[in-house]
Amino acid sequence: MKIGINTKLTEEVTDLFDITLNLEKELNSVFEKNYGKHVQDVIIGIFCMNSKFAPFFKPRKVKYYEGCHKSMDWSS
């Protein structure tokens, strides 16, 4: 399994990029195991921005989809 971190940073916090890059490397070393064909990649999105951009990123409820996995064969 591969873990990726997608970062969106404003110029005030660009020094956090190195932290997220190191975190991605560490997570990949911890989770290098194969978790089956259904879990191949995990992408984590991180938004670190100045508070003046807050109106553009309002909190939202998580969307859950009922029955989206019905077509998958979980036996393997």
Q: Is the pLDDT of residue 45 over 90?
A: no
Strand-pairing partners, residue 48, are 9
3 or 76: whose pLDDT is higher? 3
Residue 66: inside a domain: no
Prediction pTM value: 0.57
Q: 1, exposed or middle or buried, with CB in 10 Å at 0-12, 13-18, 19+? A: middle
Q: Is the pLDDT of residue 73 over 60?
A: no
Cα(22)–Cα(26) distance, rounded to whole angstroms? 6
Residue 39: inside a domain: yes
Cα(46)–Cα(21) distance, rounded to whole angstroms? 12
Range of the domain at 41: 2-56
Highest mean pLDDT among 16-30, 39-53, 57-71: 16-30
- In sequence order, the 6+-apart residues with CB closer than 8 A to the CB of 25 are none
Cα(39)–Cα(12) distance, rounded to whole angstroms? 35
Residue 10: inside a domain: yes
Domain count for the chain, please give it: 1
